[in-house]
């Protein structure tokens, strides 16, 4: 029951927020909206407020906003005027309506990350050395496992990200590390001693999160993996939430590019079954993990909808951009062929994702 409830709330909330983005901007421009539905298919519940019918439909995996005059040849529904027609509005207004859904998903991701940062604080890796590679610059300089880096070239180091960032930006120049070392004979009864060590980073190759080789400056150390939490006030949490959401957007976009480049294998593509599994797992592990996963899914939904595939928001944005630049709509015949190609592409993508989901289930059982 917990799983079903979590899936319905997460997916329903994401779809609602996406469609709310389209709805809010359309209404802001004075465009008519005949139906706002959460879900597809037969309507379970519905009511009318003003000119718009609000509905809850039986198939929860989706939703839609029916804009008046969305098709150029579509008749204006009773009660609406031609001035409220979507098709008769300037291209830039239609573009903003189409972009509002994906952007609403990005906004939701930021709000969820904001809630996480405010409620649970900012978690960060401590700048503690968990291991030192043999014959590395760090080993040659005398850095040992268990050391904690306090500063680099006089600049305070509070997180492992601070440490790795300073090393990566060094361009090979010697770095003056201030280190706290505990359990050393030199401590003479004190909790730790402070040492000043100079390390010269070496140009090396390491693997990125996508498995590619990356050339960077390293000193040959790895983290202990110990983390700490820093409480944040309301405004600091907003900034931290924005940073986390921006990182999610960047990594998701890079992942899609790497998938197109075949750097990331196609068997990593997941669909509804994978999403349900992840939501179920996080629902049982705690609210913080569920909120973080929801933010990530929201970012994925937003970016996928911005792809220039005609049946998605991104494809409609391309049509609007064409009209804005060339002062005329793209030929109807071209749009129709593009829509068919887009539908075929989406069907193939859904089949691939479903196949991968089922194959993972089969391997898991095996």
- Would you name the residues annotated as active-site residues? 19
Cα gap 145→308, rounded to integer Å: 50
Q: How many CA atoms lie within 13 A of 180 on its CB side?
A: 13
DSSP 293-334: HHHHHHHHHHHHHHSS-TTSHHHHHHHHHHHHHHSSPPPHHH
DSSP 97-113: HHHHHHHHHHHHHHHHH
Cα gap 57→12, rounded to integer Å: 11
The answer to whether the CB of 217 falls within 8 A of the CB of 206 is: no
Coil/strand/helix, residue 54: strand
Cα gap 278→336, rounded to integer Å: 37
- CB-based contacts of 198, cutoff 8 Å, min separation 6: 141, 174, 175, 176, 177
Coil/strand/helix, residue 1: coil
Tokens of 145: 């496992």
- CB-based contacts of 271, cutoff 8 Å, min separation 6: 350, 353, 354, 356, 357
Residue 187 burial (CB count, 10 A): 12
> Sign of the CA dihedral 335, 338, 340, 343?
negative
Q: Which of 21, 11, 14 is nearest to 67 (CA)?
A: 21
Q: How many CA atoms lie within 13 A of 22 on its CB side?
A: 29
What angle, 0 to 180 degrees and rounded to 10, lies between the N-to-C axes of helices 272-285 and 2-28? 110
Q: Which of 233, 228, 289 is nearest to 118 (CA)?
A: 233
């Amino acid at each position: 029951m917990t799983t079903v409830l979590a899936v319905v709330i997460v997916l329903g909330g994401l779809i609602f927020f996406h469609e709310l983005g389209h709805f809010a901007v359309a209404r802001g421009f004075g465009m008519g909206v005949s139906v706002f539905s959460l879900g597809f298919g037969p309507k379970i519940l519905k009511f009318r407020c003003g000119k718009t019918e609000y509905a809850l439909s039986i198939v929860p995996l989706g939703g839609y906003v029916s804009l008046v005059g969305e098709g150029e040849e579509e008749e204006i529904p009773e009660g609406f005027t031609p001035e409220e027609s979507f098709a008769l509005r300037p291209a830039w207004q239609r573009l903003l309506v189409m972009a509002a859904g994906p952007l609403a998903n990005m906004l939701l991701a930021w709000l969820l990350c904001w809630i996480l940062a405010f409620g649970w604080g900012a978690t960060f890796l401590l700048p503690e050395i968990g291991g030192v590679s043999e014959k590395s610059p760090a080993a040659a300089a005398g850095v040992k496992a268990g050391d904690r880096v306090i500063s680099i070239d006089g600049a305070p180091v509070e997180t492992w990200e601070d440490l790795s960032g300073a090393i990566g930006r060094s361009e090979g120049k010697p770095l003056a590390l201030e280190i706290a070392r505990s359990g050393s004979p030199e401590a003479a009864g004190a909790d730790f001693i402070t040492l000043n060590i100079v390390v010269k980073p070496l140009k090396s190759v390491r693997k990125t999160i996508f498995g590619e080789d990356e050339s960077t400056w390293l000193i040959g150390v790895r983290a202990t993996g110990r983390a700490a939490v820093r409480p944040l006030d309301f405004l600091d949490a907003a900034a931290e939430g924005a940073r986390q959401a921006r990182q999610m957007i960047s990594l998701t976009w890079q992942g899609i590019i790497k998938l197109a480049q075949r750097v990331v294998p196609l068997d990593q593509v997941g669909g509804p079954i994978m999403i349900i599994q992840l939501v179920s797992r996080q629902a049982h592990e705690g609210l913080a993990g569920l909120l973080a996963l929801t933010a990530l899914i929201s970012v994925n939904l937003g970016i996928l909808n911005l792809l220039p595939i005609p049946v998605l928001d991104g494809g409609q944005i391309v049509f609007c951009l064409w009209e804005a630049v060339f002062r005329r709509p793209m030929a109807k015949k071209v749009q129709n062929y593009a829509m068919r190609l887009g539908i075929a592409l989406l069907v193939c993508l859904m089949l691939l994702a479903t196949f991968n989901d089922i194959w993972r289930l089969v391997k898991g059982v095996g």
